Homo-oligomer: A and B are copies of this chain.
Amino acid sequence: MTETTILTVPALEERVKAIFLRAGLNDVQAGAVTRVIVAGERDACKSHGIYRIEGALRTVKAGKVKPDAVPTAAVEDGSAIVRVDARGGFANAAVELGIPLLAERARAFGLAALVVNDCSHFSALWPEVEAITAQGLAGIVMCPSYATVAPTGGSKPLLGTNPFAFGWPRKDSAPYVFDFATSVAARGEIELHRRAGKSLPEGWAIDADGNPTTDPEAALAGAMLPFGGHKGSAIGTMIELLAGILIGDLTSPEVLDYLGTTTLSPFHGELLLAFSPEAFAKGRPGDPFARAETLFETIVGQGARLPSQRRFAARARSASDGIALTAAEIAQLDRLLEKGLDAIV
């Protein structure tokens, strides 16, 4: 018999935040990391939910993120670039600090960029895209990762799984949002195949000699492949250039050198772009928000889905019915609260 406990979203937030405070995070770090983890759990996106708490604590314990960092923002007069120095902390607190400044600049200039430097990235980009759309702006967010993906035609890990995310604000419903890895599959999926003793689908990975493989062990020793062949490889490379080199932060191979492992949150920077529909569409025919609804209706009307709809449905259920956690999950939360960083081996 599976016993489940139902928690409201605020109740789960309280529990998770207590764990991070117990582990030594300051209020700004604990609050921000908690919000994204609970958002994942709330949206039934289990791979980015409470399962991630241990990874965050492991990164703290390894000394690869500063649990007491207080991010600082800098905006120069006349610049459309907002800079937030995460000061070695998690990206989330830095992004929370930067979003209102990004929105103000995007409204003033039409478009603006938020550069986050020296952060431990955690963990999906959709919460950040949704923070931009919540301001009534369209947004693009990207960051490197660790070198685990071979460029098309290559044989060695070089690019990260480099996520690319985009959002468009909608007035009467959840935003249009996508967020995907530029690798064919997430590294975690290869790990899941390995644990289950299953072969990988073809086209996911190459072995250490650069030959195609469906063996998860060989894939983990080799490299993953970009999605969409040379096109995905090009987008992954663009992300290294824009969200690594352009912003003066680490590229995926540099991240892996620095961490020496892919089991900790990657340390690097992040690039967020925001666009004001009012500013861009000014003086042109049609209302951009209404026109976007027409596009979405046409997509849905032919049986295709808009991305993130499963998450939004789960979000509505969590708001009305609460979040159900298994007895094992509750026990794990209790253990993490009790032991703090000692729970991490």
Question: Interface residues, chain A, CB within 8 Å of chain B?
Answer: 78-81, 108-113, 115, 117, 138, 140, 150-156, 158, 166, 168, 176, 178, 180, 182, 210, 227-234, 237-238, 240-242, 245-249, 251, 253, 273, 275, 277, 279-286, 288, 291-292, 295, 298-299, 302-305, 307
Contacts and interface: CB of A to CB of B under 8 A. Distances in A.
A228 to B, nearest CB: 3
Given A109-B80, A138-B241, A302 B231 contact: no
Q: Of A109, A229, A232, which is in contact with the most chain B CB atoms at under 10 Å from its CB?
A: A109
B234 A166 contact: yes
11 contacts: A111-B111, A111-B113, A154-B299, A155-B303, A178-B238, A228-B231, A240-B295, A245-B291, A247-B284, A251-B291, A253-B298
B286 A248 contact: yes
Contacts of A283: 248
B234 A295 contact: no
Chain A interface SS verdict (over half): mixed
A199 B298 CA distance: 30
Contact of A248 (B240, B285, B298): B285
Given A158-B298, A180-B231, A245-B292, A79 B166 contact: no
A273 B282 CA distance: 18
A151 B297 CA distance: 12
Given A156-B302, A176-B237, A227-B231, 14 more contacts: A81-B110, A81-B111, A111-B112, A113-B280, A151-B304, A155-B302, A158-B299, A166-B234, A178-B238, A228-B231, A245-B281, A246-B288, A247-B280, A248-B284
A210 B79 CA distance: 48
A323 to B, nearest CB: 27
Report how many copies the assembly holds.
2
B110 A80 contact: yes
A305 B246 contact: no
A80 B81 contact: no
Given A80-B110, A166-B238, A245 B295 contact: yes
Contacts of A288: 245-246, 248
Given A228-B232, A280-B248, A302-B156, A275 B242 contact: yes
Contacts of A168: 238, 241
A279 to B, nearest CB: 6
Nearest to A228: B228
A275 B282 CA distance: 23
Contacts of A299: 151, 154, 158, 237
For the complex of A and B, 6 pairs with smallest distance between CB atoms: A248-B284, A228-B228, A154-B304, A81-B110, A153-B304, A248-B281
Contacts of A303: 153-155, 210
A54 to B, nearest CB: 29
Contact of A292 (B117, B241, B247): B241
Contacts of A117: 284
Contacts of A229: 227-228
Contacts of A282: 248
Q: Looking at A182, A210, A307, which has the most chain B CB atoms within 10 Å of its CB?
A: A307
